[in-house]
């Protein structure tokens, strides 16, 4: 069976996950395992406003960077990274790298950090200050990889987001909103829009088959997308072994469960009840937690089926005033980030950080439990989480948070804290990673000045950041 097998129905196309039946026949006296030959998957997740622990005072409490470097590091209870203790073998903490391209380079740019930081994160390039169509940043980390290794998948890349985005016109300080809203750039002048609505992303993955009329007819029946491919599922089930049938059944169950949850959100939002997010699309949950989980489930399905190898995910929008009740804080996000260097207020902002970053644990668990051959998706994926802002209280871009999850097909050892030398560009780590996942001909990236070692040093105590 081909690695990319699709089940097609009226207005539906469903890609299959990896099955034993897809393992190629013997070649040259040895079995070639299809999954082992596949390229590393890449997921880039952006956080806005940095982390409370990147503040100078909070650094003395080790609220982000652990006290020790290397493998022997410990995490204090208030450190948001404690959410990943069960995944230590897949955790690489990078500290002390800078995103200086997000800093002002001229007087008119002063104060506009929130309106260019998102575009800097994955490009590590300074943005041209303009509200016109002549935007200019850089080609982003994810798109460099997608251009080389994403062209043979149905979707070269996917761009997803959580908050409302407005890519039309200008934002503040004479910056185009495309800088604020887009972390993926196909070229320095081509920002890529993101999908916020889980329904739209679901249809992109599973509803692309047939004509627009057929897709509309399928949705109008309110039946599951799986109903339209039931005959194909039965046929494939008869052609594969017992283990593959179990994998196929679990995959179809996961697809249907996600579809059911999307339908439930849409039904609730159509009910007329007051919404927390009245301007959000009908398919967007009011709950941040629920929205994040649905978007993570979509990413797992997309990677599992090899529909795409490259995903970018923007989890917030600079300067939002959203409140996150699940964090235990009643403070709006943006005001909380301007804590005035008060430790009590730093800890309050840290609660929100702990809640937002902690959502990643759900994704890691799903990736770890999704097997592809003898290894999990988490073993085969590089997940890059970070921000181009460090201390939002003073709009600092020095010593930004950067976390790597997964093993990236053996590139990352995991369970290590890597501290860069002072004034190291974050671009150095990104250049190292791009070389490690196959973009070997790239000479530089953004404002890189060289590469950064991924090897674990001997454990040593540090003085915070």
3-state SS string for 23-90: CCCEECCEECCCHHHCCCEEEEEECCCECHHHCHHHHCCCCCCCCEEECCCCCCCCCHHHHHHHHHHH
Is residue 214 domain-resident?
no
The answer, yes or no, to whether residue 286 has pLDDT greater than 70, is yes
How confident is residue 3, by pLDDT bands cut at 50, 70 and 90? confident
**pLDDT tens for residues 33-68?**
444 457 999 999 999 999 999 999 999 999 999 999
The torsion defined by the Cα of 401, 402, 405 and 410, in degrees rounded to 10, comes to -150
pLDDT digits (tens, 9 = 90+) for 86-98: 999 999 999 999 9
Nearest to 352 by CA among 60, 43, 78: 78
> Residue 31's pLDDT is what?
47
Q: Is residue 249 part of a domain?
A: no
Residue 248, pLDDT > 60, answer: yes
> Considering its fold, how many domains does the chain have in total?
1
Which candidate, 144, 206, 176, 222, places its Cα nearest to that of 441?
144
Q: Classify residue 243: in a domain, yes or no.
A: no
Residue 224 inside a domain? The answer is: no
Residues found in the chain: 465
For 74: left if phi > 0, alpha if psi spans -120 to 50, otherwise beta; the answer is beta
pLDDT at 215: 62
- pLDDT, tens digit, 9 for 90 and up, residues 384-403: 999 999 999 999 999 999 99
Q: Is residue 303 part of a domain?
A: yes
Mean pLDDT, the chain, rounded, equals: 91
**181 — pLDDT class (breaks 50, 70, 90):** very high
* Predicted confidence (pLDDT) at residue 259 exceeds the cutoff of 60: yes
How many CB atoms within 10 Å of residue 415? 17
Over residues 268-286, the mean pLDDT reads 94
Does a structural domain hold residue 21?
no
Two tokens, residue 429: 């780590």
Residue percentage of the chain with pLDDT more than 90: 78
Report yes or no on 119 lying in a domain: yes
pLDDT in tens, 190-234: 999 999 999 999 999 987 655 667 666 666 666 687 887 888 888
Q: Please indicate, yes or no, if residue 155 is contained in any of the structural domains.
A: yes
State yes or no: pLDDT of 336 exceeds 70.
yes
Residue 197 and residue 284 in contact, taking contact as beta carbons nearer than 8 Å: yes
Q: What does 141-169 look like in DSSP terms, one character per residue?
A: HHHHHHHHHSTTSSSS-EEEESS----SS
Q: pLDDT at position 22, please?
A: 85
For residue 139, what are the CA distances in angstroms to 32, 142, 175, 264, 282?
A: 35, 9, 18, 38, 33
In tens, the pLDDT along 126-178 reads 999 999 999 999 999 999 999 999 999 999 999 999 998 765 566 889 999 99
Going by pLDDT thresholds of 50, 70 and 90, the confidence category of residue 183 is: very high
Range of the domain at 127: 38-196+284-452
Q: What is the CATH number of the domain that holds 409?
A: 3.40.720.10
């Amino acid at each position: 069976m081909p690695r990319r097998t699709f089940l097609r129905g009226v207005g539906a196309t469903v890609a299959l996950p990896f099955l034993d039946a897809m393992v190629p026949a013997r070649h040259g006296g040895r079995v070639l395992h299809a999954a082992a030959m596949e390229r590393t998957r890449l997921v880039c997740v952006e956080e806005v406003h940095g982390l409370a622990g990147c503040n100078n005072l909070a650094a003395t409490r080790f609220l982000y960077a652990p006290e020790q470097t290397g493998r022997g590091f410990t995490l204090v209870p208030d450190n948001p990274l404690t959410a990943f203790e069960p995944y230590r073998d897949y955790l690489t903490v990078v500290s002390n790298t800078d995103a200086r391209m997000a800093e002002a380079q001229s007087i008119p740019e002063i104060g506009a950090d929130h309106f260019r930081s998102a575009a800097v994160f994955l490009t590590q390039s300074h943005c041209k200050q303009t509200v016109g169509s002549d935007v200019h940043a850089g080609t982003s980390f994810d798109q460099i990889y997608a251009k080389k290794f994403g062209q043979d998948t149905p979707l070269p890349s996917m761009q997803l987001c959580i908050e409302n985005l407005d890519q039309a016109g200008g934002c503040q300080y004479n910056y185009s909103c495309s800088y604020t809203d887009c972390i993926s750039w196909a070229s320095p002048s081509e920002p890529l829009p993101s999908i916020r609505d889980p329904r739209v992303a679901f249809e992109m993955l599973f509803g692309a088959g047939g004509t627009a009329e057929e897709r509309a007819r399928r949705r109008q029946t309110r039946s599951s997308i799986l109903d339209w491919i039931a005959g194909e599922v039965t046929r494939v089930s008869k052609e594969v072994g017992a283990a593959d049938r179990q994998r196929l059944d679990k995959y179809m169950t996961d697809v249907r469960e996600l579809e059911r949850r999307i339908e439930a959100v849409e039904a609730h939002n159509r009910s007329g009840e007051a919404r927390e997010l009245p301007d959000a699309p009908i398919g967007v949950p009011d709950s941040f937690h629920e929205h994040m989980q649905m978007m993570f489930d979509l990413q797992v399905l997309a990677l599992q089926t090899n529909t795409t190898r490259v995903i970018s995910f923007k989890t917030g929008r600079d300067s939002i005033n959203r409140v996150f009740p699940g964090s235990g804080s009643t403070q709006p996000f943006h005001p909380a980030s301007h804590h005035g260097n008060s430790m009590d207020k730093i800890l309050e902002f840290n609660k929100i950080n702990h809640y937002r970053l902690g959502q990643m644990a759900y994704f890691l668990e799903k990736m770890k439990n999704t097997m592809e051959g003898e290894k999990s998706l988490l073993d085969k994926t590089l997940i890059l989480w970070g921000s181009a802002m460090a201390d939002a209280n003073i709009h600092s871009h020095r010593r930004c948070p950067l976390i790597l999850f997964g093993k990236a097909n053996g590139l990352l050892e995991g369970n290590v804290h890597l501290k860069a030398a002072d004034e190291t560009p974050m671009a150095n780590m990104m250049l190292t990673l791009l070389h490690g996942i196959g973009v070997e001909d790239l000479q530089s990236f953004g404002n890189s000045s060289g590469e950064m070692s991924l090897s674990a040093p001997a454990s040593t105590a540090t003085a915070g950041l």
